[in-house]
Chain A
Amino acid sequence: MKQRNKIIAMILMMVTIIALFMLYNTGPNLDYVIPRRAIRLATILLVGISVAYSSLIFQTITNNKILTPAIMGYESVFILFQTVIVFIYGDKTFQVITHQDNFFYAVLLMMAFSFLMYVLIFGKSKQNIYHLLLLGLVLGALFQTFGQFLQIVIDPNEFSVIQGFMFVSFNKINTDLLLIAGVTLLGALLFGQRYLKYLDVIALGREHAVNLGLNYNKLVKIYMLLISLLVSVSTALVGPVTFLGILVTNLTYELFQTRKHRYMVWLCSGIACVALLLGQFLVEHIFNFSTTVSIVVNFVGGLYFMYLMLKTRKAI
């Protein structure tokens, strides 16, 4: 019963925040403001679901509550790619490359990157998910260093273009991109749906999963594919939101008692959307765009992560 109350409370909160987000302080130009806000809302929902879904799966297969797929270097690949493009084309970047092409290439690159990592790790006979993580982190750090180097050399005016990529903002999305991303997400969700039930078992650990008849290696590869697709799409759409994943998954574990993934993914997605909407609302109306939602979310998520690390011995 208590559980149900919490779910109802979350739905109510979501409706309220959506209403607030859409209707607060609209001003007289309703025809102009509402459709733009609707696009932003759709983007936020899309990103929220992608991040929640991928983080939850990732934490289950790594058996770890303080990780997020974002740390595996996808974001550095994305930033480096965008930096290189801006480095080459300067402020003419978007006269040379359309947003769609840019999105497409970014997703392609990130997928290629994850594929490379799997080959490196799973190619060896002894696979270990933690080695995969560390490998991702180090490659990420490498790309990051390259990116930082280019960012220093870049003209400060052009740097603002990169800065636009580095920090999520839901303000500059075009509808075509949103549609592509939406279709991809839907496809991934439909594909992933039938694999959700195995996650409950994988949460018990590899040996138990194998004992209970799962083809562990194959499943982990499928999940990794799914994760890299989701992370790539959401990163290419709005940029990195590193700590959102940790924040929302752990809130889910704490608020809801269920451990069935087919419920958890939706609860977690709900929390992610509420968090992003709240963040975006704050950015628009309290901070007056002086900061961005990703910075706010990373800030709050980072502090929450610290709290998790220090709270109890059992958390990790």
Chain B
Amino acid sequence: MICFEKITKTYGKRLVLDNISCSLPKGKITSLIGPNGAGKSTLLSIISRLLDADQGKIYLDDICISDYKSGDLAKRLSILRQSNHIDLRLTVRDLVAFGRFPYSKGRLTADDQVQIDKAIHFAQLEDMAHSYIDELSGGQRQRAFIAMIIAQDTDYILLDEPLNNLDMKHAVLVMKTLRRLVDELGKTVVIVIHEINFAAQYSDYIIAMKDGKIVYNDETDQVVQAHTLKEVFGIDFDIITKNGKNICNYFNIET
């Protein structure tokens, strides 16, 4: 389980995270939602040690993440940010192979090769395993990066807006892959996501943030309610229930 306590972060004078504490349940998908500037990405970066908090502690399975060696933590927790501009001529398989770096330090063993193939298979990228990443579409490239994270084989997987700039098909493919990671492999997935309906359809828990604070933290259906979402985003929502899951319409509601 990931717990964080009293995290505070400021950029200059602006308070981005205001003394927040919470825990993220194991073996589930948790979505972080909230308006722009709520502090979601900052929180994710702090949990994944890409960024240092001004105050507060983060515990991964009851051990403070600053007590982990960076190399060991990389076998427990992985992070994928949204900006992935790489100007290297790598094939998809080369890229995925980097996910094994924490284990092999660059010299791939037979076991690593197996893991790489598994990850490519899991992300359904066999067809393009030998294509160069700079020749792929945005959606395919994003899935290649997700395959790299899968090859890293960590219990905890953190993703910052994995659906950014993806078309509907790739967005669905990515979310299904994440769901299978949790259901089939027992991983814990935490994502920052903007499209509320993807969060409503695929996640187990939702944490809603606003102005650097956590305003709701509950099971998905409890958070996806008209009044809660209105409080978070400041616009009206119309909730439709279909197959036991909530869908919201907020696109053009007469008030």
- What is the bound-complex CA distance between A201 and B107, given in angstroms? 12
Shortest CB-to-CB span from A313 to chain B, Å, is: 11
Q: B residues within 8 A CB of A205?
A: 84-86
What 1/0 flags go to A234-263 for Cβ under 8 Å of B? 000000000000000000000001010000
Least CB separation from B75: chain A residue:
A213
Asked whether, in the complex, the Cβ of A213 is within 8 Å of the Cβ of B72, the reply is: yes
Q: B residues within 8 A CB of A215?
A: 70-71
Asked whether, in the complex, the Cβ of A210 is within 8 Å of the Cβ of B50, the reply is: yes
Asked whether, in the complex, the Cβ of B80 is within 8 Å of the Cβ of A211, the reply is: yes
Shortest CB-to-CB span from B51 to chain A, Å, is: 10
The contact of A197 among B71, B89, B106, by CB within 8 Å, is B106
Residue B3 is within 8 A (CB to CB) of chain A in the complex = no
Residue B87 is within 8 A (CB to CB) of chain A in the complex = yes
Least CB separation from A205: chain B residue:
B86
Residue A296 is within 8 A (CB to CB) of chain B in the complex = no
Residue A314 is within 8 A (CB to CB) of chain B in the complex = yes
- What is the bound-complex CA distance between A211 and B80, given in angstroms? 8
Q: B residues within 8 A CB of A203?
A: 86, 88
What 1/0 flags go to A186-201 for Cβ under 8 Å of B? 0000000000011011
Shortest CB-to-CB span from B135 to chain A, Å, is: 11
Main secondary structure of the interface of B (DSSP, over half): loop
Asked whether, in the complex, the Cβ of A211 is within 8 Å of the Cβ of B79, the reply is: yes
Residue B141 is within 8 A (CB to CB) of chain A in the complex = no
Residue A214 is within 8 A (CB to CB) of chain B in the complex = yes
- What is the bound-complex CA distance between A205 and B90, given in angstroms? 14
A207-B73 CB under 8 A given contacts A63-B87, A201-B98: no
Least CB separation from B72: chain A residue:
A213
A213-B71 CB under 8 A given contacts A63-B87, A201-B98, A207-B81: yes
A213-B70 CB under 8 A given contacts A201-B98, A208-B98: yes
Residue B48 is within 8 A (CB to CB) of chain A in the complex = yes
A201-B79 CB under 8 A given contacts A207-B50, A259-B88, A259-B89: no
Q: How many inter-chain residue pairs (CB < 8 Å) link A and B?
A: 65
- What is the bound-complex CA distance between A197 and B104, given in angstroms? 11
Residue B101 is within 8 A (CB to CB) of chain A in the complex = yes
A212-B152 CB under 8 A given contacts A197-B106, A200-B106, A201-B98: yes
The contact of B90 among A65, A210, A212, A259, by CB within 8 Å, is A259
- What is the bound-complex CA distance between A77 and B87, given in angstroms? 33
Residue A204 is within 8 A (CB to CB) of chain B in the complex = yes
Asked whether, in the complex, the Cβ of A211 is within 8 Å of the Cβ of B74, the reply is: yes
Shortest CB-to-CB span from A305 to chain B, Å, is: 17
Q: B residues within 8 A CB of A207?
A: 50, 79, 81, 83
Known: A201-B98, A211-B50. 19 other contacts (CB 8 A): A65-B87, A201-B106, A204-B86, A204-B88, A205-B86, A208-B98, A210-B50, A210-B79, A211-B74, A211-B80, A212-B98, A212-B101, A213-B70, A213-B71, A213-B74, A214-B71, A259-B88, A259-B90, A314-B87
Which positions in A face B, CB cutoff 8 Å?
A: 63, 65, 197-198, 200-201, 203-205, 207-208, 210-215, 257, 259, 314
Which positions in B face A, CB cutoff 8 Å?
A: 48-50, 69-75, 78-81, 83-90, 94, 98-99, 101-102, 105-107, 134, 149, 152
17 CB contacts below 8 A, A to B, read A63-B87, A197-B106, A197-B107, A198-B106, A205-B85, A210-B70, A211-B48, A211-B149, A212-B98, A212-B152, A213-B71, A213-B74, A213-B101, A213-B102, A215-B70, A257-B89, A259-B88
